[in-house]
Amino acid sequence: MTELLNIENLHARVEEKEILKGLSLKVNAGEVHAIMGPNGSGKSTLASVLAGKPGYEITEGSVNFQGEDLLEFEAEERAQKGIFLGFQYPVEIPGVNSMYFLRTALNAQRKARGEEELDGIDFMDFIQDKLELLDMNTEFLKRPVNVGFSGGEKKRHETLQMCALNPTLALLDETDSGLDIDALQIVSRGVNAMRGEGKAIVLITHYQRLLDYIEPDFVHVLKDGQIIKSGDKTLATELEKEGYSGLTNETTAA
Amino acid sequence: MNTAAKMPTPPADNVINKDTQLDKTYKYGFSSDIEMDYAPKGLNEDIVRLISEKKGEPEWMLEWRLNAFRIWQNMVEPNWAKLGYPPIDYNDIYYYAAPKSQKEKPKSLDEVDPELLAVYEKLGIPLKEQEVLAGVEGTSNVAIDAVFDSVSVATTFKDKLAEMGVIFCPISEAIRDYPELVKKYLGTVVPQGDNFFAALNCAVFTDGSFVYIPKGVRCPMELSTYFRINARDTGQFERTLIIADDDSYVSYLEGCTAPQRDENQLHAAVVELVAMKNAEIKYSTVQNWYPGDENGKGGIYNFVTKRGTCKGERSKISWTQVETGSAVTWKYPSCILEGDYSVGEFYSVAVTNNCQQADTGTKMIHKGKNTSSTIISKGISAGRSNNTYRGLVHIFPEAENARNYTECDSLLMGNKCGAHTVPYIRAHNNTANLEHEATTSKISDEQLFYCRQRGLSEEDSVSLIVNGFAKDVMQQLPMEFAVEAQKLLGISLEGSVG
Ligand SMILES: Nc1ncnc2c1ncn2[C@@H]1O[C@H](COP(=O)(O)OP(=O)(O)OP(=O)(O)O)[C@@H](O)[C@H]1O
Ligand SMILES: [Mg+2]
């Protein structure tokens, strides 16, 4: 098993407040990990820190991605190295249509990798099967990024971007929240299409039902800034029944 | 500070340093090694006479200039705009500078100083018709009049346009060859005494473009003027006059750059447009004069009077401007809507960064019945800059059923810059229908991170977001200009985040 991501004893603060308090997690190539946990426990913070969002102070610990110190790199460099974050709350970019946005992003990444950039026509060819996979049409691409999108459309749009950018490590922050059953299936189809050798997916979710569609290899519970419990997919079913309140930090208690 | 703007003497040999690249961020900031012919510094009647003589002008033109000069002498520089700059010493400026090789106007490009051609090549301005016609990469179907300091160096596609009766030539040539047309319209839209800078321009203007589109002709290509200030301590005073006769159409593009210098340079242009019955004039500007360095040293003082009259019924004048350069911008492209059902439009993007100051907007003067106007202004401020929209919508008593829609949006980057909106409305007819909207927003950290997470650099992210903000205006630009203008928005804001 090749190791893709190794987080060790990560401590992170934002605005003087410690949010991640010694978090450790290993992700190998080919794996799907689900992270669950109560509101405010630090799940989105973990995703932001991994993606390089400015404003977080790392006070302790390390993050290794494909043999490199990930924390050394700027957000765009991490993206270019194959880290994708599906946002819990995607932001609006008025006046910039989705097609232009996606093509600019794709070309920025291709350029960084020394690949040829795609012109408008090539891009349309390129994006066609991804749109089909997600039951979307080209009309959608003409709309300004996230402006006036419904909750479900935003999530579908995040999934489309993931499929287009084809990341090595996808971090999906509640991409399933607010989706109806059909949309959930469609988004899951997109995520499953991403599974593959050499790649990994980390799903942040509150709902066990997502895991009926995307079967995880591991389920972790994140509480108060640490991973306090890990198991296989049966852990999710257990959590659904019992909730988080009974759980204490077994890893540090041990 | 109350010291006069420093305007030092030029090098004794009148040769400008070659390609001094002062600041990488302004890519047009080179100056070129071209032998120049200067008139002595300062402004008096003799200088006005000298300019007129150098241009080989008829007596009536000289008289017109002298009259303007006398008016100017009795005027004071306006100070109502939200601009601060040291007093300008009008006697410390060269009012005429021409490349020596231009003394005898070249008859074809082969006679133009190769150094001069090299400058335009560097700027990406296609002056060689054959290249344009052969579809050489990077060239497009645009007829160009290129003005270098005080003279026009080349007008392309002149013959092809002449076949259709379109006149497109340097204004100095029009004064000689089409005196009746020039006499009939010059100064009718912007009177000599309109304002301080316009009066100055009338006295000392050196070149610019003249366009006449005959009745019923749709001009088959974009007409374009490219202005460049190269010589040091030189003011540029260009004059443009465009007349679109009944049922005609023309789209005109204006671009400008200047080398980087530590001193401030003065630019005071006048543009007059006349649209007759059913005629349409679309005037687009990409203003990229040198803005000064990040501490506000150097840069162009840009005081421009642009105005168009919709004389005929159902005529239309549309101004689109992308203003990214200049240390100081004072500019209000306006429309006088005389003809019934005439239409005026103003689409503007003004970017200020570092210490730049812009006070820009428009006046829509509704005189005819059922006239309508649209104003869309997008101001983007960064650094310690100040960006003001100043506009007037004036409905005359006789203007029944006039309509105006105004939208002023400001985008702020950082918290040291200023954005101001000063809309004036004078409605003297109660059938008027006026709408005004204004917003102020900031580029959020969330937007920036979203873009960077997708692999865009910080600067490309800013450029993308800003172009999105300015899109309603940018899409008014002709294709030939849009791509360059888009890049320019990004470049002007470099270094404004982080
Ligand atoms: N910029 C910030 N300033 C102050 N506190 C912050 C900031 N960002 C996050 N926090 C706090 O950090 C904690 C963890 O937030 P985070 O968004 O990571 O939670 P989460 O596990 O994703 O929750 P949810 O399930 O509700 O999405 C919360 O208490 C939150 O208020
Ligand atoms: Mg969250």
Q: Nearest 5°: CA angle at B243, between B242 and B246?
A: 150
Alpha carbon of A38 to ligand 2 centroid (Å) = 9
Q: SS3 for B281?
A: strand
Q: SS3 for B144?
A: strand
Q: Say whether pLDDT at B17 is over 60.
A: no
What integer pLDDT is reported at residue A143 of this predicted model?
95
What integer pLDDT is reported at residue B228 of this predicted model?
66
Q: Which two tokens stand for residue B269?
A: 């242009």
| Contact residues for A149 (Cβ-Cβ < 8 A; gap 6+) | A90, A143, A157
Q: Which of B430, B321, B428, B335 is nearest to B373 (CA)?
A: B335
Which one-letter DSSP state was computed for residue A155?
A: H
What integer pLDDT is reported at residue B31 of this predicted model?
61
In a domain, A251, yes or no: no
In a domain, A20, yes or no: no
In a domain, B10, yes or no: no
Q: Which residues of B112-122 are buried (b: 16+ CB within 10 A; e: fewer)?
A: bbeebbebbee
In a domain, B110, yes or no: yes
Confidence of residue B326 (pLDDT cuts 50, 70, 90): confident
What integer pLDDT is reported at residue B119 of this predicted model?
60
Q: What is the CATH number of the domain that holds A140?
A: 3.40.50.300
Average pLDDT value for chain B: 83
Which of the two residues, B294 and B137, has the higher pLDDT score? B294
Q: How many structural domains comprise chain A?
A: 1
Sequential DSSP letters for A47-110: HHHHHT-TTEEEEEEEEEETTEEGGGS-HHHHHHTTEEEE-SSPPPEEEEEHHHHHHHHHHHHH
Cα separation, B413 vs B442, whole angstroms: 6
Residues in chain B: 498
Pocket test for ligand 1, best of A10, A15, A17, A207 (most atoms within 8 A of CB): A17
Q: SS3 for B241?
A: strand
In a domain, B381, yes or no: yes
Which of the two residues, B291 and B70, has the higher pLDDT score? B70
Which of the two residues, B346 and A137, has the higher pLDDT score? B346
Is the beta carbon of A41 within 6 A of some atom in ligand 1? yes
Closest ligand 1 atom to the C-alpha of A225? 14
Whether B460 contacts chain A with CB within 8 A: yes
Residues of the domain holding B243: 20-492
User: Virtual CA dihedral for B8, B11, B14, B16, nearest 10 degrees?
Assistant: -90
Q: How many structural domains comprise chain B?
A: 1
Confidence of residue B3 (pLDDT cuts 50, 70, 90): very low
What integer pLDDT is reported at residue B26 of this predicted model?
64
Which of the residues in chain A have pLDDT under 70?
A: 248-254
B450, B461, B473, best to mutate vs chain A, most A CBs in 10 Å: B450
Please list every residue in chain B whose beta carbon sits closer than 8 Å to the beta carbon of residue A52.
452-453
Q: Say whether pLDDT at B15 is over 60.
A: no
Q: Say whether pLDDT at B98 is over 80.
A: no
- Which chain B residue is nearest to residue A82, measuring alpha carbons? B455
Whether B18 contacts chain A with CB within 8 A: no
Provide mean pLDDT across the span B15-24. 35
Confidence of residue B127 (pLDDT cuts 50, 70, 90): low
Whether B473 contacts chain A with CB within 8 A: no
Closest ligand 1 atom to the C-alpha of A47? 18
Q: SS3 for B378?
A: strand
Backbone angles phi, psi at A16, to 5 degrees: 70, 5
Cα separation, B272 vs B287, whole angstroms: 17
What integer pLDDT is reported at residue B167 of this predicted model?
93
Whether A87 contacts chain B with CB within 8 A: yes
Q: Say whether pLDDT at B136 is over 50.
A: no
In a domain, A25, yes or no: no
Closest ligand 1 atom to the C-alpha of A88? 27
Confidence of residue B20 (pLDDT cuts 50, 70, 90): very low
Cα separation, B90 vs B70, whole angstroms: 15
Tell me the pLDDT tens digit for each residue of B396-414. 999 999 999 999 999 998 8
Which residue type, as a one-letter code, is found at position B483?
A: V
Q: Say whether pLDDT at B81 is over 80.
A: yes
In a domain, A92, yes or no: yes
- Which chain A residue is nearest to residue B443, measuring alpha carbons? A93
Alpha carbon of B399 to ligand 2 centroid (Å) = 58
In a domain, A199, yes or no: yes
Is the beta carbon of A43 within 6 A of some atom in ligand 1? yes
Please list every residue in chain B whose beta carbon sits closer than 8 Å to the beta carbon of residue A106.
455
In a domain, B11, yes or no: no
Is the beta carbon of A245 within 6 A of some atom in ligand 1? no
Provide mean pLDDT across the span B116-121. 62
Lowest mean pLDDT: which of B123-132, B250-259, B416-425, B473-482? B123-132
Cα separation, B451 vs A90, whole angstroms: 11
Which of the two residues, B247 and B172, has the higher pLDDT score? B247
pTM: 0.84
What integer pLDDT is reported at residue B222 of this predicted model?
84
Provide mean pLDDT across the span B76-94. 87
Q: Nearest 5°: CA angle at A52, between A158 and A63?
A: 115
Backbone angles phi, psi at A63, to 5 degrees: -135, 120
What integer pLDDT is reported at residue B22 of this predicted model?
36
Residues of the domain holding A210: 30-53+74-222+230-239
In a domain, A196, yes or no: yes
In a domain, B498, yes or no: no
Query: Which of A54, A76, A94 lies closest to B457 in CB terms?
Result: A76
Q: SS3 for B376?
A: strand
Q: Say whether pLDDT at B30 is over 80.
A: no
Q: Say whether pLDDT at B118 is over 80.
A: no
What integer pLDDT is reported at residue A21 of this predicted model?
96
Provide mean pLDDT across the span B466-495. 82
Is the complex ipTM higher than 0.90?
yes
Distance between B464 CA and the closest CA of chain A, angstroms? 7
Highest mean pLDDT among B57-71, B254-268, B317-331: B57-71
Express as a percent the part of chain B with pLDDT over 70.
77
Is the beta carbon of A223 within 6 A of some atom in ligand 1? no
Q: Please, how many CA atoms are within 13 Å of residue B386, restricted to the half-sphere of its CB?
A: 14
What integer pLDDT is reported at residue B308 of this predicted model?
98
Cα separation, B266 vs B88, whole angstroms: 9
Taking CB atoms and an 8 Å limit, are A76 and B464 in contact across chains?
Answer: no
Closest ligand 1 atom to the C-alpha of A48? 18
In a domain, B241, yes or no: yes
Alpha carbon of A173 to ligand 2 centroid (Å) = 7
In a domain, B13, yes or no: no
Q: Where are the alpha helices (DSSP H) in A113-249?
A: 120-133, 138-141, 151-165, 181-194, 210-213, 234-242
What integer pLDDT is reported at residue B225 of this predicted model?
81
Query: Which of B451, B460, B471 lies closest to A95 in CB terms?
Result: B471
Distance between A233 CA and the closest CA of chain B, angstroms? 29
Whether A143 contacts chain B with CB within 8 A: no
Query: Which of B444, B447, B455 lies closest to A76 in CB terms?
Result: B455
Q: What string of H, E and C letters represents the secondary structure of B414-433?
A: CCCCEEEEEEEEEECCCCCE
Tell me the pLDDT tens digit for each residue of B213-245. 999 999 988 888 876 666 666 677 889 999 999
Is the beta carbon of A208 within 6 A of some atom in ligand 1? no
Q: Which residues hold their Cβ within 5 A of ligand 2, which is an ion?
A: A 43-44, 88
Q: SS3 for B209?
A: strand
For residues A10 and A49, the answer to whether their CB atoms sit within 8 Å is yes
In a domain, B8, yes or no: no
Query: Which of B446, B453, B460 lies closest to A75 in CB terms?
Result: B453
What integer pLDDT is reported at residue B292 of this predicted model?
82
What integer pLDDT is reported at residue A141 of this predicted model?
92
Q: Which helix (H) or strand (E) holds B366?
A: strand B357-366
In a domain, A182, yes or no: yes
